[in-house]
Structure 1
Amino acid sequence: MQKVWIYLENGTFLEANSFGAKGTTVGEIVFNTSLTGYQEIITDPSYAGQFVTFTMPEIGNVGVNKNDMESSTAFCKGILVRNYHHEYSNYRGESDLCSLLKEHNVLGIKDIDTRYLTKMIRDEGAMMMIASTEISDKEELAKQLAASPRIEDINYIEEVSTKEPYIHKNGAWNHQLLSYNKAVMSDKKIVVIDFGVKRNILNELVESGLEVEVVPSSFNADELIARYEAKEIGGVFLSNGPGDPLTLVKEKEEVQKLIATDIPIIAICLGNQLLSIAHGFDTYKLKFGQHGGNHPVVNNGVVEITAQNHNYNVPDSIVKIAEVTHRNLFDDTIEGVRYNNKNIYSIQHHPEASPGPHDSKYIFKQFAEMVK
């Protein structure tokens, strides 16, 4: 066991114990209210640059395994937990969480009052923090934090996106949608723009009967348009991803080229935000974001329980050019839009959520039908 010292930009200074990687790390602290799925959260590329505080007090008790990785590595800066369990008990468990954190250089902080931290973030908003197993001096930590770039100043997309195109062929591990596949198989390929795509999004797209090609965030819209006109592809998917979407100037310009055509487009999370910005409606930052697996969203009078992970949101003024299809019942923020007179549909929450909930999984069926 090793001590770790934490300094938040509001002046809070804390001491706890560490597990996982060692060192000194700066990032933005947020909280996640999910009761399960800590491995999926830690390996979600959308958490790049952030420390995740788990409100679930017991973490590590089911271990980790290779099938539940949402990406090839973990991009979050660290995690904060009340109680860490090194010994795990689960028939799917292959290793302990500490080993995963060490392998991917993620700092683990335990024996800390996560309820206190969550209430602080709720009241004061997400904020920058520094954590160190090397530096115990409060003033030195404050100095290093002040000298570090803020999360909104860093383009994490370049870090999390694939560097080369590839074909994704795996479906969802539980194969619950195989009967649907046979009914709607499309002979058209879709292209996923990887801004930090979760593996299970790709799985669900394949499971819905689509051929999936993944390309880097530095994609060329003109090439995709030419491929669509040549009937080589049937649609484009804009993925989730980390950071402030307003920093993605080049990506916005390429998306603007896409929306000027009739290519079917669907988007999730960051992709949803990029579509709004590309249409001329800038996003805004939420106070502490939406992170968890228990968020009620209403869709045409039907309530869906959804998984969420975002700090930025589409403005209400988007109603000038789009129909709002989904709203969050916690704070009435926009969760889904369909653009007027266009074959473009986007949502803010995560229908692919693993381990769940799965109320919104029909989104992938809708996109398959759009492409078909």
Structure 2
Amino acid sequence: MKAYIYIENDLFMTANAFGAKGTFFGELVFNTSMSGYQEIISDPSYAGQFIVFSMPEIGIVGTNDDDNESKEIFTSGIFIREFNKNYSNFRAKKSLNEYLKEHGKIGVYDIDTRFLVKMIRDSGNLNCVVSTEISNKEKLKELLKSSKKIDEVNWVAKVSTKKPYKHQQGVWNTANKAFNKAKKCVKKLAVLDYGVKTNILNELVEVGFEVEVFPHNTKADELIKLYDSGKIEAIFLSNGPGEPKNLKDEIKELKKLIDKKIPMLGICLGHQLLSNAFGYETYKMKFGQHGANHPVLNQENKRIEITAQNHNYNVPEEICEVAIITHRNLFGDNVEGVRYKNYPIISVQHHPESSSGPHESKYIFKEFMSLL
């Protein structure tokens, strides 16, 4: 089937499509990862965005039941150069086409993704509409103009769990070809779910946390009550999609948790929300940082870590007034990690769970355990 694409810079294109039929809206971002497309597609942080893969060959390893980062797919769709309809991998259960169709998302292929990546790099993230139903450029233009922008939607409310649940699965064990079982609990942890990835939960369990996941709008008073009674000993603030400054209620509740000096770890959106709660507003980057090959300098041991990234927003340099900057991104020299002064709170912008991506930052989960 054919896909008709209109981008807000007035670019109109035609390409081939697979997956679901329909009309889809989103913001174009590019991802530079060489592998792990299923983990990327199922990351809730991509809600409301089209992922343009710079890696030209996508689909060759199919999909399986164990690599999902979420039960649903929240990305608007994907753009790829070469679509491999036939897959070959011993873990695969279905094709990428079946996977997208099952989740109601579109894939676009036979398109010059190198051109799109350069365009996004030069112009910044652009809004886009993709349709298998409407071929008229002017009609697509009007539809895109009247659609909501990503910053105008509370995506966190859409991706977060609706009720608390316990997570008891550890990391994938390659030798046993299964997930590790939960270890003996060392500390009890509450996870505020802004769009948490499954492998983050796996890593938390792996280092010894007893993990219970709570909805994004859980009141601080409820968590403080659990903390005072010893039912939780720390809080994790997860990754997630959208504009952090829009989450005014979540930021208000975070301020109460900060005042209580409860130990906390924030990753990605959680890192950004902490910055806003401390009074340092985040800003939107030109085209964000998305990929599994971003070098980050650990300021404390001077080692360079290759990291996985997925974010459009970042914390300001002024955060150094209340926090020690522990990590810096070497692609843009932006703040990548902090340790707050006078508070048992640390946070990082990148994804130490490395799914997909390198494992060089996994120590952060152990570091958080040591903090307790």
In the TM superposition, 1:5-20 aligns within 5 A as: 5-20=4-19
Match of residue 83 from structure 2: 84
> Could you tell me which amino acid in structure 2 is paired with residue 116 of structure 1?
F
CA distance in 1 between partners of 2:350 and 2:39 (Å): 15
Contact 2:292 2:356 in 1 (8 A): no
CA distance in 2 between partners of 1:339 and 1:266 (Å): 11
Match of residue 31 from structure 1: 30
CA distance in 2 between partners of 1:187 and 1:112 (Å): 50
Match of residue 329 from structure 1: 330
1:214-265: CA deviations, max 9, x gaps? 0000111111112111111110000000000011010000101100012100
What SS does structure 1 have at the residue aligned with 2:40? helix
Match of residue 218 from structure 2: 219
Aligned-pair identity (%): 57
- The 1:9–1:67 alpha-carbon spacing in structure 2 relative to 1, beyond 3 Å, is same
Match of residue 358 from structure 1: 359
What SS does structure 1 have at the residue aligned with 2:88? coil
CA distance in 2 between partners of 1:356 and 1:82 (Å): 21
Match of residue 318 from structure 1: 319
What SS does structure 2 have at the residue aligned with 1:358? coil
Contact 1:19 1:109 in 2 (8 A): yes
CA distance in 1 between partners of 2:268 and 2:186 (Å): 27
CA distance in 2 between partners of 1:3 and 1:288 (Å): 28
CA distance in 2 between partners of 1:212 and 1:31 (Å): 32
**Farther off after superposition, 199-208 or 354-363:** 354-363
**Farther off after superposition, 143-152 or 347-356:** 347-356
CA distance in 1 between partners of 2:174 and 2:222 (Å): 33
In the TM superposition, 1:1-372 aligns within 5 A as: 2-174=1-173, 186-300=185-299, 301-371=302-372
CA distance in 2 between partners of 1:75 and 1:121 (Å): 21
> Could you tell me which amino acid in structure 1 is paired with residue 190 of structure 2?
V
1:35-73: CA deviations, max 9, x gaps? 000000000000000000000000000000000000001
**Farther off after superposition, 360-369 or 45-54:** 360-369
CA distance in 2 between partners of 1:331 and 1:262 (Å): 32
The total of aligned residue pairs comes to 366
CA distance in 2 between partners of 1:17 and 1:250 (Å): 42
Contact 2:327 2:335 in 1 (8 A): yes
CA distance in 2 between partners of 1:260 and 1:111 (Å): 53
What SS does structure 2 have at the residue aligned with 1:272? helix
What SS does structure 1 have at the residue aligned with 2:135? coil
**Farther off after superposition, 141-150 or 349-358:** 349-358
CA distance in 2 between partners of 1:223 and 1:139 (Å): 51
Contact 2:288 2:313 in 1 (8 A): yes
1:94-129: CA deviations, max 9, x gaps? 110001101111111000000000000000000100
CA distance in 1 between partners of 2:297 and 2:187 (Å): 32
> Could you tell me which amino acid in structure 2 is paired with residue 213 of structure 1?
E
> Could you tell me which amino acid in structure 1 is paired with residue 363 of structure 2?
Y
What SS does structure 2 have at the residue aligned with 1:325? strand
TM-score (normalised: structure 2): 0.96
Unaligned runs of 5+ in 1: none
CA distance in 1 between partners of 2:51 and 2:41 (Å): 8
1:75-97: CA deviations, max 9, x gaps? 00000000001110111111100
In the TM superposition, residue 370 of structure 1 has moved relative to its aligned partner by 2.1
